[in-house]
């Protein structure tokens, strides 16, 4: 045809004699016609795109690695954040095969050395664990901090069929009461939706029966949150408050059995309450040093005992839920644990939890449940009951500590088991305090004022203590 220099329109023609044998298909393949028209499903979405190391080694190192001043470490951006930090020696050993050719008669130069000396390499001051923030955090002073927090990515889902048939079915079995069940699910959802903020309420699940599948819930949450964000601890370790490895870089800490020792019961005191709720805490790792740091750990407590811990009535932080009254068969649990190997199921539960409306729940106070009241009642010793009755209707307005103890002994006898710390704790839990020091019968006393919102002169206090003395003699 005209204006085509004699070549046929719509076909390829190469003027090189060596290409005379090639047809249209050869040329189309050479330019990858059709290949780039389709999405490459093997490419990872969001994965870092570094310069090819074989093309430009210097650019690859500058883009991929960050020098960390604190600890003389290196961050490898090609790895997941939770395992991207390595010491300098490991970095040099890992990248030892990559070297620049020798110049003249010199020796090859390690790429790691060239990178360390390069003025454009990225430098960070330190590393941290900051849910809800990006991988690189720039402080007010301009220095970078590397964020090691990382949640696994879960595929998008079209429905919640598996989540409803397996997850919700098992939670309905595990927590039979509907209101408790909704709160329990919402508590799991909090960790997924708001990892950057600690929830003030901790769930304690009580199941008298063994083998009800609570361990399955732990494994499920580890799959959703990432096992690197989850820890497990013994109640003895937590209450000793000596080491806090379970708080370091974690979102969830589970305690399989709160009451490990039948003869020993732990108490929800101020120290334990701080561990469960405070957003910032002094952490003492067993093989590290003490440091004050932000805490993001949520706790899940489990027990087979209704009297698992001493729970004071005024506590607002422990939600006690009840478990099933029958056991499931082996086939039931076989299906459960098989589901943990299914990424589609894990993803469905993740997105189901992401859809829970957390604002529909009261997070300021643990819900009142029958199990919670049973635990409170079981927490009271005979001495506690006498003291609570005394405080409910005090015969006098003020008593010394010794007079309070004498009152309990008068009610229960000389064999009464009285814990001085517990007596003081109950008095404080009721919002009561001690008056200033006064002289009474030749001794300096600081009497407990048993009536709220009233002030007494020293003479009035002595009168109350004298009246109490007469009452005890009569008893």
Residues 72 and 88 in one domain: yes
Residues 132 and 183 in one domain: no
Residues 266 and 297 in one domain: yes
Residues 23 and 65 in one domain: no
- How many independent structural domains does the chain possess? 4
CATH number at residue 457: 1.10.10
Task: Report if residue 371 sits inside a domain.
Answer: yes
Which residue among 322, 357, 376 closes a domain? 376
Task: Report if residue 307 sits inside a domain.
Answer: yes
Average pLDDT, the chain: 87
Task: Report if residue 45 sits inside a domain.
Answer: no
Decide: helix, strand or coil at residue 287. coil
Residues 278 and 321 in one domain: yes
Task: Report if residue 198 sits inside a domain.
Answer: yes
Determine which of 56-60, 209-213, 278-282, 437-441 has the lowest per-residue pLDDT on average.
Answer: 278-282
Residues 387 and 365 in one domain: no
User: Which pLDDT score is estimated for 118?
Assistant: 95
Reply yes or no on whether the pLDDT at 162 is more than 90: yes
CA Rg, the chain, in Å? 34
Give the orientation angle of helix 330-339 with respect to helix 214-225, to 10 degrees: 10
Chain segment 367-421, per-residue pLDDT in tens = 999 999 988 888 777 888 888 889 889 999 999 999 999 998 998 888 888 878 7
pTM over 0.85, yes/no: no
Task: Report if residue 171 sits inside a domain.
Answer: yes
Residues 238 and 329 in one domain: yes
Reply yes or no on whether the pLDDT at 174 is more than 60: yes
Which residue among 351, 376, 401 closes a domain? 376
Which residue among 89, 112, 147 closes a domain? 147
Task: Report if residue 296 sits inside a domain.
Answer: yes
Residues 299 and 368 in one domain: yes
User: Which pLDDT score is estimated for 6?
Assistant: 57
Compute the distance between CA of residue 209 and CA of residue 215 in angstroms, rounded to an integer: 13
Residues 253 and 237 in one domain: yes
Chain segment 409-427, per-residue pLDDT in tens = 998 888 888 878 778 878 8
> Nearest 5°: phi and psi at 250?
-135, 150
Reply yes or no on whether the pLDDT at 238 is more than 50: yes
* Domain that includes residue 19, residue range: 1-38
Task: Report if residue 50 sits inside a domain.
Answer: no
CATH number at residue 366: 3.40.50
Task: Report if residue 48 sits inside a domain.
Answer: no
Going by their DSSP bridges, the two strands 433-434 and 309-310 should be labelled as unpaired
Residues 368 and 389 in one domain: no
Residues 4 and 90 in one domain: no
Residues 68 and 116 in one domain: yes
Compute the distance between CA of residue 361 and CA of residue 182 in angstroms, rounded to an integer: 9
Secondary element (H or E) of residue 398: strand 398-399
């Amino acid at each position: 045809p005209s204006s085509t220099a004699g070549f046929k329109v719509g076909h390829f023609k190469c003027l090189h004699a060596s290409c005379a044998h090639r047809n249209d298909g050869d040329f189309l393949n050479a330019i990858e016609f059709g290949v780039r028209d389709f999405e490459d499903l093997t490419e990872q979405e969001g994965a870092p795109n570094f310069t090819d190391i074989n093309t430009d080694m210097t650019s690859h190192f500058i883009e991929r690695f960050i020098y960390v001043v604190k600890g003389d470490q290196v961050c490898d951006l090609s790895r997941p954040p939770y395992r991207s930090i390595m010491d300098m020696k490991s970095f040099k050993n890992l990248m030892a095969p990559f070297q620049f050719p020798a110049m003249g008669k010199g020796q090859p130069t390690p790429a790691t050395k060239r990178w360390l000396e390069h003025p454009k390499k990225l430098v960070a001051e330190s590393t941290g664990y900051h849910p809800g923030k990006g991988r690189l955090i720039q402080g007010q002073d301009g220095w970078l901090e590397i964020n090691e927090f990382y949640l696994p990515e879960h595929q998008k889902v079209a429905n919640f069929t598996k989540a409803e048939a397996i997850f919700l079915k098992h939670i309905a079995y595990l927590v039979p009461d509907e209101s408790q069940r909704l709160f329990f699910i919402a508590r799991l959802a909090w960790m997924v939706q708001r990892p950057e903020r600690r929830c003030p309420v901790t769930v304690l699940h009580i199941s008298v029966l063994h083998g009800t599948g609570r361990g399955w819930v732990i494994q499920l949450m580890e799959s959703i949150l990432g096992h690197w964000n989850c820890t497990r601890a013994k109640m003895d370790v937590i209450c000793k408050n000596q080491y806090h490895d379970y708080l370091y870089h974690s979102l969830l800490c589970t305690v399989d059995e709160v009451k490990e020792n039948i003869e020993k019961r732990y108490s929800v005191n101020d120290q334990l309450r701080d561990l469960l709720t405070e957003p910032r805490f002094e952490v003492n790792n067993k093989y590290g040093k003490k440091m004050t740091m932000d805490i993001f750990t949520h706790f899940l407590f489990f027990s087979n005992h209704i009297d698992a811990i001493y729970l004071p009535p005024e506590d607002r932080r422990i939600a006690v839920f009840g478990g099933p009254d029958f056991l499931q068969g082996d086939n039931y649990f076989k299906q459960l644990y098989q589901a943990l190997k299914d990424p589609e199921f894990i993803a469905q539960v993740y997105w189901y939890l992401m859809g829970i409306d957390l604002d529909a729940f009261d997070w300021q106070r643990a819900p009142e449940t029958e199990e919670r009241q049973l635990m409170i009642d079981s927490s009271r010793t005979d001495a506690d009951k006498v003291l609570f009755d005394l405080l409910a209707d005090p015969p006098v307005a003020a008593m010394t500590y010794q007079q309070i103890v004498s009152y309990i002994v008068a009610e229960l006898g000389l064999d009464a088991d009285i814990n001085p710390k517990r007596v003081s704790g109950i008095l404080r839990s009721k919002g009561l305090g001690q008056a200033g020091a006064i002289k009474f019968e030749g001794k300096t006393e600081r009497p407990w004022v048993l009536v709220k919102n009233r002030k007494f002169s020293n003479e009035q206090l002595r009168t109350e203590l004298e009246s109490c003395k007469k009452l005890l003699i009569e008893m």
